[in-house]
Amino acid sequence: MPYREVKVYDDPFPTFDQIISGDPAAPPFPREAWLQKVNPGEFAVRYKDFKTGLARNPLGEHVQASEICRIFDDLDEARSNSVQVSQEHWTVQCFIYDHAGANIDSVSNTRETGKFAARMYSAILFWGGLLTIAGMAFIWGTYRVTLFLLAPGSEPIGPLNWLGWSVFSAAGLAIAVLAWWMKLRRIAGRRINKIRGSFTKGEMKKFEEINTLFGTADPAERKRFLELTREYQQKIKEALKK
């Protein structure tokens, strides 16, 4: 099954340090150049993560600047190789293109991706149902307590029809989701306060220098920027561990 591998991009990406420091000497982001290497009658295969769409290689590894595609002389060979790749690495989805760049086919491990989708949707249904029941129980409990306190001896409302149950369920789910969101807000707030409390006024003043050094063309200042940035990130990690 002959094929050749070519790089997707024409040049390397700027380094992470160049990006976060705003280095004016950083090279521009490269352009895709793989299509120019596909001759009429040939077919190129690119590899993506089926969940995120991020680039992978035929070995299932996450890639970026080193992304490659395989070029085949025959469509059946491209499909056959793609099936082999997806069977060996089920998270990889293969996209087949002709020389004009048209996506003519895609190959994935439908058995494994189907299992993943089934597990994901089952989890959504389970947690959605659990939240709905919890919210409905809260509404019903609140209603009975309120009825007992404000109108002792009164009978609760009669059986609900399908519309009433639908509204009741929707309200229960909405209340449970709201309670979950408020819990996340409290957790996030505590973490933010923890981070802020871990910095002294002197440290905050020191790290404010990061804003003034961003984008500097001076190598010494850029080095200072990267040192401060790493120190700042490490300080945040240590604060979150406490």
| Cβ atoms of 209 and 168 closer than 8 Å | no
Instruction: Look at the block and give the residue holding tokens 């997806």.
Output: 86
| Cβ atoms of 68 and 41 closer than 8 Å | no
Mean pLDDT calculated for residue range 4-15: 91
Q: Dihedrals φ, ψ of 47, to 5°?
A: -125, 125
Q: What is the pLDDT of residues 210-240, one digit of tens each?
A: 999 998 889 999 999 999 999 999 999 988 8
Distances (CA, A) of 47 to 19, 57, 60, 221: 25, 6, 8, 40
Q: Which amino acid is at 191?
A: R
Q: What is the pLDDT of residues 55-92, one digit of tens each?
A: 999 999 988 778 999 999 999 999 999 999 999 999 99
pLDDT for 20 beyond 70: yes
Q: What is the pLDDT of residues 197-206, one digit of tens each?
A: 889 989 999 9
The pLDDT, as a whole number, for residue 58 is 93
pLDDT for 155 beyond 80: no
The pLDDT, as a whole number, for residue 1 is 59
Say what percent of the chain tops pLDDT 90: 66
Report yes or no on whether pTM surpasses 0.85: no
Domain boundaries, the chain: 4-108, 113-197, 202-241
